[in-house]
Amino acid sequence: MSQELDRADAWLNTKFAADATITSIVAGRIHSTVVPPGSTYPCVLYAYLGGFDSVGTGAMRILHSGLWVVRAIAAVEDWAAAPLGTLADRIDIILHRATGSAAGADGIVYTATRESPYREIEHETGGVELRHSGGSYRLLVQVPAS
């Protein structure tokens, strides 16, 4: 079952799509897992890295502790229009110590906490340099009753 992962993804998307600063810079380019081919930058990307379940009596899963890497990505030539630091800082303001549920989804994200910063540089075919900046966030997510 991956309902708790779907809940967390929906929550992340809802948090970013509702933020005026994020949407003014990325214009809806908020992606889960991978940036689709042909997409433009800047964007926000979040991806599940792994985690573990907490269990109660009778081995009932009650909570999932998952780690997501959440980052802003911008092509070097776009920095003036979309400073990576502004996006990365906004991601942290939105997520660190946040709670709630996604619009239209059942379940709860009990908390999100940044565990470490994240930075990466990659080169796309054609020589475009992409810079990534953000963090790894631990989300505690309610597991659906089974």
Domain ranges for the chain: 3-142
Classify strands 43-55 and 30-32 as parallel, antiparallel or unpaired. Answer: parallel
Q: pLDDT at position 59, please?
A: 82
CATH code, residues 3-142: 3.30.2000
CB neighbour burial string for 31-52, b if at least 16 within 10 angstroms, e if fewer: bbeebeeeeebbbbbbebeebe
Share of the chain above pLDDT 90, in %: 55
Rounded to the nearest integer, the mean pLDDT of the chain is 88
Kindly write down the DSSP assignment for every residue of 7-64, as one continuous string. HHHHHHHHHHHT-HHHHHHHTT-EEESSPPTT--SSEEEEEEEEEEEEE-GGG-EEEE
pLDDT above 70: residue 100: yes
**pLDDT exceeds cutoff 60 at 104:** no
Which is more confidently placed, 17 or 144? Answer: 17
Task: Please tell me the predicted confidence (pLDDT) of residue 103.
Answer: 57
